[in-house]
Amino acid sequence: MRKTMVDVPTEDGIADAYLVVPEGDGPFPGVLFYMDAFGLRPRIYEMAERIAERGYAVLAPNLLYRGGRAPIADLKGLADPEERGRIFGRIMPLIQALDTAAITRDTRAYLDFLAAQDGVSAGPDAVVGYCMGGTNGLKAITAYPERIVALGSFHGARLATEEPDSPHLRIGEIKGEVYFAHADQDPSMPQEQIDRLEAALDAADVPFRSEIYPGAAHGFTMADTAAFSAEAEKRHWEKLFELLDHALPTPAR
C-alpha cells in the first residue's frame, strides 16, 4: 500500500491528512475516514489501512486542522480518566467550532482531493466516522448525496438532538445507504436520540440499519482508550465491510 501524510487545501486553510492507496493500477473507490475527537494518531492510521486492504483508497483528514496540525493535544495517558479530561479541555472548543457550514466546505475539499489522486476513482465515495466523525459523516452525506453513497457511523454523538441544526433534520437528502452503531451506555447518544434518528430515516425511506451494541461504551472501537471493546470492534468491522461491499464494491468484489 502507498501510505503517506498529505496536505489538503481547503477554503479555510490546509488540512493535514493520512492517505492510503492500495497497490495496483486501480481505480480504487474512495473512502473518507472521519476521525474521533482525539485526532490523527497510530490507531487511526491502522484502521485506515485495514479499510485500504479491502481495495479502497482512504483519506483520513485532521478534521480539527484549524487548531493546528496533528496531534493537536498531547495524547499521553489517553486511557487515564484525569488525562482524558485534560485532553478534552484542549480540543472541545475546536470540536464546537466545527459547525455544519465548516464541515460542508471541508468535505468538498476532501472529496476533490481524493478524486484527484493517482489510482483513485472519480467517485462516488463512502464516509466512515467515529464519535464526532460519525456526526460529521452524517452531515457530509446529507450535503453531498450525489457524491457519497454510503455512511458507516460508529458511536456517533448527538446525531438527533432538538437543536435547529441537528444532523438528522437533513436525512431526507440522503440517496445512499447508511449504518449506525450505538453504544448502549452512551450519554452523547441516548435512546431518545436513537429513536428520533430511526424515525427520521424511516420517514425519508432511506436504506439503513441502526443497531445497539450491548455492553459497549462510547468509543468502543478505539483500542488506545479505556472504552475499547474487542467484541464490539470485531462486530464493527464486519458491519462496515458488509456496508461497503454492498454500497460501494471494489472492482474485485
Give 11-60 pLDDT, tens digit per residue: 999 999 999 999 998 899 999 999 999 999 999 999 999 999 999 999 99
Q: Which amino acid is at 101?
A: A
The structural domain count of the chain equals: 1
Confidence at residue 85, expressed as pLDDT on a 0 to 100 scale: 75
**In-domain check, residue 23:** yes
Q: Which amino acid is at 143?
A: A
**In-domain check, residue 252:** no
**In-domain check, residue 61:** yes
Average pLDDT over residues 92-106: 94
Overall pTM > 0.85: yes
Per-residue pLDDT tens for 125-139? Answer: 999 999 999 999 999
CA distance 194 to 164: 17
Per-residue pLDDT tens for 204-217? Answer: 999 999 999 999 98
Confidence at residue 253, expressed as pLDDT on a 0 to 100 scale: 59
**In-domain check, residue 177:** yes
**In-domain check, residue 219:** yes
Look up the domain containing 227 and give its range. 2-247
CATH number of 20's domain: 3.40.50.1820
In the numeric block, which cell numbers belong to residue 123? 467517485
Confidence at residue 36, expressed as pLDDT on a 0 to 100 scale: 95
| Cβ–Cβ under 8 Å, residues 56 and 125 | no
| Cβ–Cβ under 8 Å, residues 150 and 178 | yes
CA distance 63 to 116: 20
Q: Where are the beta strands (DSSP E) in the chain?
A: 2-10, 13-21, 28-34, 57-61, 120-130, 148-154, 177-185, 208-217
**In-domain check, residue 89:** yes
Per-residue pLDDT tens for 146-172? Answer: 999 999 999 999 999 999 999 999 999
| CA separation, residue 111 to residues 10, 85, 127, 155 (Å) | 11, 33, 10, 23
**In-domain check, residue 15:** yes
Confidence at residue 177, expressed as pLDDT on a 0 to 100 scale: 98
**In-domain check, residue 188:** yes
State the catalytic residues: 131, 186, 218
| Grid-cell match 457550514, residue found | 101
Q: Give the pLDDT band of residue 192 (cuts 50, 70, 90).
A: very high
Confidence at residue 170, expressed as pLDDT on a 0 to 100 scale: 97
Q: Is the pLDDT of residue 79 over 70?
A: no
Confidence at residue 74, expressed as pLDDT on a 0 to 100 scale: 75
